[in-house]
């Protein structure tokens, strides 16, 4: 069981635990994770965990694709820390047992028990080549968050405007009814 957190176009973060049963993501009512956003296809993608506990995502031929990090993929494992974008949904894999420490590797145990007068110097950290486009991907994810917040603010303003218009219309109808009543009494 692998927990994931995801954010839909409404900007609210939700979580879901994925097991060996595939999780269908899309707009269709039968989808396990549903979105009403037009960037998400009716049957957009599947997420599932294999027997070894690796999490995978598979694009089901969607129009807007599935991205693991900056790369558009058809089927891909989801490494810890990677951001997965499915249409407009943004997923991230969560730690299965947060806060639990991992047992030390057997080599570390042997070195810890061995009596030695040598000073062990840790090797220099490996140089990691940056993933091309990773900074662009991070910027796009940030811009997507900003756009979602702006969209939500516009929708809230629109809804408030619609509510106020409905209220004014009811007041106007009540005033017309009151005028008609007063004219009948004359």
CB 25 within 8 Å of CB 15:
no
Residues ≥6 apart with Cβ < 8 Å to 96: 1, 2, 3, 53
Of the candidate CATH numbers 3.40.50.11540, 2.60.40.10, 2.60.200.20, 1.10.640.10, the domain formed by 2-96 belongs to 2.60.200.20
CB 45 within 8 Å of CB 25:
yes
With a threshold of 0.85, does the pTM exceed it?
no
* Predicted pLDDT of residue 174: 93
Residues ≥6 apart with Cβ < 8 Å to 88: 8, 9, 35, 37, 39, 40, 64, 144, 148
pLDDT tens profile 111-157: 455 555 555 556 666 655 555 555 666 667 777 777 888 888 888 88
In angstroms, rounded to a whole number, what is the distance separating the alpha carbons of residues 139 and 146?
A: 11
Instruction: List the chain domain ranges.
Output: 2-96, 131-186
* Predicted pLDDT of residue 104: 43
Average pLDDT over the chain, rounded to whole?
A: 79
């Amino acid at each position: 069981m692998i927990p994931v957190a995801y954010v839909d176009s409404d900007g609210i973060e939700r979580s879901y635990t994925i097991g060996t049963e595939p999780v269908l993501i899309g707009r269709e009512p039968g989808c396990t994770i549903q979105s009403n956003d037009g960037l998400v296809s009716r049957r957009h993608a599947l997420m599932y965990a294999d027997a070894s506990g690796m999490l995978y995502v598979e694009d089901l031929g969607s129009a807007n694709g599935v991205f693991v990090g900056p790369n558009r993929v058809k089927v891909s494992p989801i490494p810890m820390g990677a951001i997965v974008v499915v249409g407009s949904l943004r997923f991230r894999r969560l730690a299965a047992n947060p806060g639990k420490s991992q047992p030390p590797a057997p080599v570390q145990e042997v070195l810890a028990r061995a009596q030695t007068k040598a000073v062990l110097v840790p090797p220099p950290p490996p140089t990691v080549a940056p993933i091309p486009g990773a900074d662009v991907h991070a910027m796009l994810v940030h811009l997507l968050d900003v756009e979602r917040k702006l969209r939500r603010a516009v929708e809230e303003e629109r809804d408030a405007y619609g509510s106020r218009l409905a209220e004014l219309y009811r007041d106007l109808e009540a005033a017309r009814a009151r005028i008609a009543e007063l004219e009948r009494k004359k």
